[in-house]
Amino acid sequence: QVQLVESGGGLVQPGGSLRLACAASGSIFNSGTMGWFRQAPGKERDIVARIRWSGGWTYIADSVKGRFTISRDNAKNTVYLQMNSLKPEDTAVYYCAADRAGWGTQEYEYDYWGQGTQVTVSS
């Protein structure tokens, strides 16, 4: 079993920055993919970014490309989402998820989910 705990959400003004962290504990794996998703009120949950534990390959959604980056610290079993130049439309609950062995291309491939952290971008 894997437990994922997100942190770092909060209220920020437009143009500001936040860094989310996702700490993984339990049966830690060295392969697979970690993903960040977000869900705004009344909307579906969408992928924001993902990263492979091994090799560090990353994917960033077009909607946040150039503003968000994903990284990992294997020694700490932690994945980060650095969010810069935040916009009101980035307001959502952000979820961390783990795909134990695959590339995490689809939401259903993720085996474990965190509880989510709220990000609100407002003046």
State the residue for tokens 């590339």: 103
Close Cβ partners of 45 (under 8 Å, ≥ 6 residues apart): 37, 38, 39, 95, 107
Q: How many CA atoms lie within 13 A of 93 on its CB side?
A: 13
Q: Which pLDDT score is estimated for 28?
A: 67
Show pLDDT as tens, one digit a residue, over the chain (123 residues): 889 999 999 999 999 999 999 999 877 667 789 999 999 999 999 999 999 988 889 999 999 999 999 999 988 999 999 999 999 999 999 999 999 888 888 899 999 999 999 999 999
Q: Which pLDDT score is estimated for 95?
A: 98
Beta-ladder partners of 118 = 93
Sheet with strand 18-26: strands edge to edge: 2-7, 18-26, 78-83, 68-73
Residue 104 structure tokens: 């995490």
